[in-house]
Amino acid sequence: MKRKSFNRNAVLAAVMLGISSLSLTGCGQKTSEEHVLAARQFVEAKDNPSAIIEYKSAIQKDPEDPDARFELGQLYLQQKDFAAAEKELNRALDLGYEVSEVLPLITRAYQETNSEVALSEINHNVDGLTPVKRAEVTYYKLEALLRLEKTKEARILLDDIAKIDTLSVYKGLSLALGKVLDDDYEGALQAINTLHKQAPLNKDVLMQQARLNMYLRNLDAAVTAYDAYLDVAPDDTETKFILTAILMDAKRFADAAPLVDDLLEKSATNPLLNQFKGVIEAREGNFSVALKHLETAIQNGRNDPLARLLAGFSAYQLEDYAATTRHLSMIASDLPPSHAALRMLANSLLQQGKNEEATDILARVDGEAENDAMLFSKAGYQLLQSGNVVDAKAMIEKSVPIATSAEDLTRIGVLQLSINDAEGLVNLEAAVERAPELTMGQQTLANAYIATRQFDKALEVAENWQKAEPQNAQPWLVKGQVYLAQQNYEAAEAAITKAEALDSNSIKAKIQRVSLAMVQKQPQQALDAINQALTIDPTDQASLALLYIVQKQTGKANEAVNTIQEVVARHPDEDVPKTILARVYLAEKRVADGIELIEQVKLNDDTPDLYWDTRGRLLLAGSRINEAKAHYEAWLNEQPNHKTAVLGMTMILDLQSRFQNGVELTAGFLEKRPDRQIEIVKAHFHAMLRQIPQTEAILNQLSEQEKQLPYVRGIRARLQLYRDNPTAAIPNALAAYEAIPNTRNLLLAMAAHEMADQPDKAFELVTAFRENNPENTQAMLLYAERLIQRDRSEAINVYRQLAEKQPENAIALNNLAYLEHQEGMLDAAEEHARQALEIVPQAPEIADTLAQVLIDKGETEDAKAIYDSVMSQQVRSDEIYLNYIELLLKMDLT
């Protein structure tokens, strides 16, 4: 049976609680009833947390107390802890508490926890329910049946509801739901609107009003109803979320914003809420905040393309091209060709230097947007800069049909001329005609005319340019360039002077004056002009380089070196002077100084290309092959299609005999940038791999002039040797050797002579080479090998010199031991043979040399041990095997 609580005011309750607590303390622990009493007093005092503790203590004392269970469930319901309320109210029912008292409360708990099955099974006909309560209970039960799609049971229940004698809004709500069951949504809404007038603050009325308006697409009315509902039930997070989604879908972002912020306080990582917040902030232009929330949404599982699209857009506005690429690349395949996001993605890739990826995206763009010509030409330019001529051509071809403005035509014209497309002149002419004020167009068109030796047209461009910009020095420099090409030095002098008068700080004018002085063989005047340029900019790359060139020609290279050193000292943070000086050191064969200096250059986005080439050359010149390899690999990683980088790397691969890698490197380059020189290098690698058909396929495509190049003749000589035609190979091998007298070409020429039975000529070549390259150890080895049959004593001397220079050279040590053995120098022979065997312990040839020395010294057991250590290996030499058998016979061990 229900027990009524005391009806006292809060102050009296607190005082009584204090008194009872004092008395209870003196009498021992509280009973269950005393805990309930204390709990009721805390409820009166609005101290619900303390009341809950007391109720729980009462239940712990007497788990079968229905009063404590009911009152705790009732309190949980007030606290909106519906799951806990449901649990305690069910226990109260199980323990016999009055059903009519519990049912209205547990029905609300079920409704709040979406326990439709439990709701649908409630006995709404229990005795003791007032008509008003019965109407409320049956309404919630009806809702549950409809959600469970139990229409038959719902119609039966509606019949019961119609019989309830009450004017309760819940009876009206149920009857309105009956109209929904009959698909009469308009009638249902009309009934609900009538109920709303009766009970404007009833949350269930407001909820049904919102839902029906939403179903009937009465958006404004639905939003109004949801707003009113949330005024009554502000803690209903689920409904607040629904309203937020409705407002976002309706693009009512200002109305949604406060709801989103409120919900994010409760669920900061919710993916959909963060997407909503990102959309709102992006529309307000707060792209940094938008990106933060959109990325939070994505990281927490929101894979909606809209989230990626807006994240990419926000990142693009922030010029965060890496983030733009990260997000837009995830949805690019689903975007139509006209979508602006494809253009943003392509430009972001270009900004990061990912030119080939950008090309793949731009291949899908339809070319209809206003700025597509600029985007295509930008891609073409960057592809050309990276050495990818093939894809650059494709981008240029795509931009030509849509280029309309003078700026577009100028950019495309420049690019076309860069790939030797004569149509570039046509586009430049059109650009200049449309916008004569475009300096870039005028300058580029003039340069193109000069390059194609159309001097009259170049002068005409300069004249028209002067008329448009009489105070611009550039047209005069165009004239000066033309007159220099025409060898009209007096006119060139006048044009340069006029340019200097218009712009006294023009370094271009000073450089042009240097050119004029040099062709007239006036080095002092050239030096004066260089010094004037360096006064304007002491770190100018062209001026510093010309300083060394001019001074070198006059025999005063040291003075140029000193000057550049002073510039480096005065400008320690500038990398250009350091790089130029390092290059000068390379030319002056001061390799160590050059390496030390170039290592001071800090690698960054502004590092000049000259740095890469200079450092690579210095490392190779210093025989620091591994460092050079790492350097060229880094360069190719930055610029995979840079020709100079590829050529540098091929040198290293050639030195390391990694010919297949050379084929792969050059083939990859040629896919993006057809180039005759690289094709010839590729032919060399094929030849070194004895891939004769592939080599000849390349050589047969060459012009007659190209076939006479010494490098090509060297490749041809190698093929002729493979085909056992040394007589034909000799002139080709000698041509290659004379042009580039390195060790590889020396070996080729010697092989040709020796195969043609001309050993004396081969010996003459290696002798001369050694005299010119006394520190070349490979040449010493070749020379010593050929001395063995000519002069053993001299061969021993050369091998000893070589062993001193290269104490790890096992071949030299073994050959020296062999010769010393032949000459009876047994102790020396044993020493050098043992040194060689320590370097290559399993080498049968070296073991044989040492064993033969030991045999002659009478140390047959030691000799046998040496043979035994290598005979388990595959001994291919019959001579070594026979020597071993002979020893065994000698020792009577067969």
Q: How far apart are CA 468 and CA 331, in angstroms?
A: 49
Nearest to 751, CA basis, from 763, 738, 735, 739 = 763
On the question of pLDDT at 17 being above 90, the answer is no
**What pLDDT is recorded for position 434?**
42
On the question of pLDDT at 630 being above 60, the answer is yes
On the question of pLDDT at 670 being above 90, the answer is no
**What pLDDT is recorded for position 359?**
66
Higher pLDDT, 877 or 367: 877
Higher pLDDT, 409 or 525: 525
**What pLDDT is recorded for position 186?**
92
What mean pLDDT comes out for the span 233-256? Answer: 88
**What pLDDT is recorded for position 875?**
67
Q: How far apart are CA 810 and CA 819, in angstroms?
A: 14
What mean pLDDT comes out for the span 297-324? Answer: 86
**What pLDDT is recorded for position 616?**
92
Structure tokens at 534: 């360096």
What mean pLDDT comes out for the span 333-343? Answer: 70
Neighbouring CB atoms inside 10 A of 597's CB total 23
Q: How far apart are CA 518 and CA 483, in angstroms?
A: 15
- Domain with residues 10-198, CATH architecture: Alpha Horseshoe (1.25)
Neighbour-count burial of 618, counting CB atoms closer than 10 A to its CB (0-12 exposed, 13-18 middle, 19+ buried): buried
**What pLDDT is recorded for position 235?**
85
The angle subtended at Cα 3 by Cα 77 and Cα 93, nearest 5°, is 55
Q: How far apart are CA 813 and CA 839, in angstroms?
A: 10
**What pLDDT is recorded for position 355?**
64
Higher pLDDT, 379 or 257: 257
**What pLDDT is recorded for position 82?**
86
Higher pLDDT, 72 or 426: 72
**What pLDDT is recorded for position 500?**
92
What mean pLDDT comes out for the span 591-613? Answer: 88
**What pLDDT is recorded for position 789?**
87
What mean pLDDT comes out for the span 593-607? Answer: 88
**What pLDDT is recorded for position 360?**
67
On the question of pLDDT at 435 being above 50, the answer is no
**What pLDDT is recorded for position 24?**
36
Neighbouring CB atoms inside 10 A of 617's CB total 21
What mean pLDDT comes out for the span 569-597? Answer: 93
**What pLDDT is recorded for position 683?**
93
Structure tokens at 437: 């004020």
**What pLDDT is recorded for position 306?**
83
What mean pLDDT comes out for the span 750-761? Answer: 94
What mean pLDDT comes out for the span 450-463? Answer: 78
Q: Give 108-151 pLDDT, tens digit per residue.
A: 888 888 888 888 888 888 888 888 888 888 888 888 888 888 88
**What pLDDT is recorded for position 745?**
92
Residue 441 confidence class, pLDDT cut points 50, 70, 90: low
- Min mean pLDDT across 521-525, 649-653, 840-844 is at 840-844
**What pLDDT is recorded for position 163?**
86
Pseudo-torsion of CA 345, 346, 351, 357, nearest 10°?
A: 110
**What pLDDT is recorded for position 388?**
54
Same fold, 10-198 and 778-894: yes
- Give the domain ranges of the chain: 10-198, 778-894
**What pLDDT is recorded for position 588?**
92
The whole-model pTM stands at 0.57
On the question of pLDDT at 1 being above 60, the answer is no
Residue 292 confidence class, pLDDT cut points 50, 70, 90: very high
**What pLDDT is recorded for position 337?**
67
The angle subtended at Cα 500 by Cα 497 and Cα 501, nearest 5°, is 85
What mean pLDDT comes out for the span 655-677? Answer: 89
Neighbour-count burial of 425, counting CB atoms closer than 10 A to its CB (0-12 exposed, 13-18 middle, 19+ buried): buried
Rounded to a whole number of angstroms, the CA Rg of the chain reads 47
Neighbouring CB atoms inside 10 A of 602's CB total 10
- Domain with residues 778-894, CATH architecture: Alpha Horseshoe (1.25)
On the question of pLDDT at 399 being above 50, the answer is no
**What pLDDT is recorded for position 78?**
86
- Min mean pLDDT across 320-324, 331-335, 565-569, 610-614 is at 331-335
Q: Give 703-716 pLDDT, tens digit per residue.
A: 999 899 999 999 99
Q: Give 813-863 pLDDT, tens digit per residue.
A: 999 999 989 889 999 989 999 999 999 888 888 988 998 999 989 998 998
Higher pLDDT, 410 or 193: 193
On the question of pLDDT at 56 being above 70, the answer is yes
On the question of pLDDT at 593 being above 80, the answer is yes
On the question of pLDDT at 419 being above 60, the answer is no
On the question of pLDDT at 609 being above 80, the answer is no
Higher pLDDT, 595 or 357: 595
Long-range contacts of 795-798 (CB under 8 A, 24+ apart): 795/819, 796/820, 796/823
**What pLDDT is recorded for position 236?**
84
**What pLDDT is recorded for position 533?**
92
On the question of pLDDT at 19 being above 60, the answer is no
**HEC states along 134-153?**
HHHHHHHHHHHHHHCCCHHH
Residue 95 confidence class, pLDDT cut points 50, 70, 90: confident
Residue 761 confidence class, pLDDT cut points 50, 70, 90: very high
On the question of pLDDT at 427 being above 50, the answer is no
On the question of pLDDT at 693 being above 70, the answer is yes
Q: What is the mean pLDDT of the chain?
A: 82
- Min mean pLDDT across 28-32, 277-281, 402-406, 531-535 is at 402-406
Q: How far apart are CA 267 and CA 43, in angstroms?
A: 31
Q: How far apart are CA 50 and CA 54, in angstroms?
A: 6
**What pLDDT is recorded for position 348?**
77
**What pLDDT is recorded for position 412?**
44
Residue 89 confidence class, pLDDT cut points 50, 70, 90: confident
Structural contact between residues 829 and 820, judged by C-beta atoms closer than 8 angstroms? yes
How far CA 353 is from CA of 349, 360, 381, 419, 506, in Å, comes to: 6, 14, 11, 20, 32
On the question of pLDDT at 62 being above 50, the answer is yes
Neighbouring CB atoms inside 10 A of 45's CB total 18
On the question of pLDDT at 220 being above 80, the answer is yes
**What pLDDT is recorded for position 451?**
67
Who's near 467: CB < 8 A, 6+ residues apart? none
